Amino acid sequence: MFIKEVTLLLVFAVIIIFIRHKRRLRENPPKDDDSQQHIDMALSLGQGSEGEIDPDPKPASNETLAALEARGIKLDRALTEREADHLLGLFEPAGHRQLEILKHFKIPCPPEINKTEANYHIQTLFSDPANVDEWNQRPATSKVKQGILFMGGQPKPHLTQVEAQSMLVDYGMENPHRFLEWKHIDKLFLTVNDADTLDHYNTRKITWKRFFQLYDALKRSGFAASDISADSIHWQAKRSDLEQKSASDQDDCAA
């Protein structure tokens, strides 16, 4: 009788262990090596380098933890806000500035590189002071030059990006209202030339010169600057092309 009871207890124990094991697998599914490598990367960025360690880190919010769990990431320890942000960055595309840095240093990366991977490459690059200096001394981009022109300035020859940005900020302090309009234009130009937007409108990239022609035409027609969107720019581009084609057809008929 005693042996039978012990046997039953062992069977029940095995069943309980099996159920708990299945529950753990369901809550924390095993991750392949590549996924775990990305998680480790995000956590290392979240912990920061020696000079960036936060003595009083904020815990991740329940909302952020729920967002991570919905994406299959649930760790068996508490996460800081910064760690959780970098983990979420695994599911967000790299930003425009990040891509500019990687392109400048000719870092090979897939088109779909995420925000956290880009941050990891950039942190590695900028751990070398020579790379920081090279980045700061790079020639001014066409975008910041356009900003200076829009603010009524004139870019100097051989201007570095840092110098150009400083000029732009100075102009912005002198004319905050126009600077706010430039910030809107800056974001709008990127959206207008986003790959998905160009594909949607089945058109080629719009140059700065063409962009301002379309932008100014919309303002003359009564649009407020803040109401001009990527859709309205592309709508104006189609309208302008049709008007030019109609004028050209009329000239051909007259001839």
Contact 87, 46 (CB under 8 A): yes
pLDDT above 90: residue 49: no
What DSSP state is assigned to residue 77? S
- For the whole prediction, is pTM greater than 0.85? no
For 31-45, 133-147, 165-179, 221-235, which range has the lowest pLDDT when averaged over its residues? 31-45
What DSSP state is assigned to residue 28? S
What pLDDT does 75 receive?
Answer: 87
What DSSP state is assigned to residue 222? T
> How do residues 103-134 score in pLDDT, each as one tens digit?
999 998 888 899 999 999 999 999 999 999 99
Contact 119, 86 (CB under 8 A): yes
H or E segment to which residue 217 belongs: helix 208-220
Contact 172, 184 (CB under 8 A): no
List of residues 6+ apart from 228 with CB closer than 8 A: 184, 188, 215, 218, 219
Nearest to 188 by CA among 126, 139, 231: 231
The model's confidence at residue 11, banded by pLDDT at 50, 70 and 90, is very low
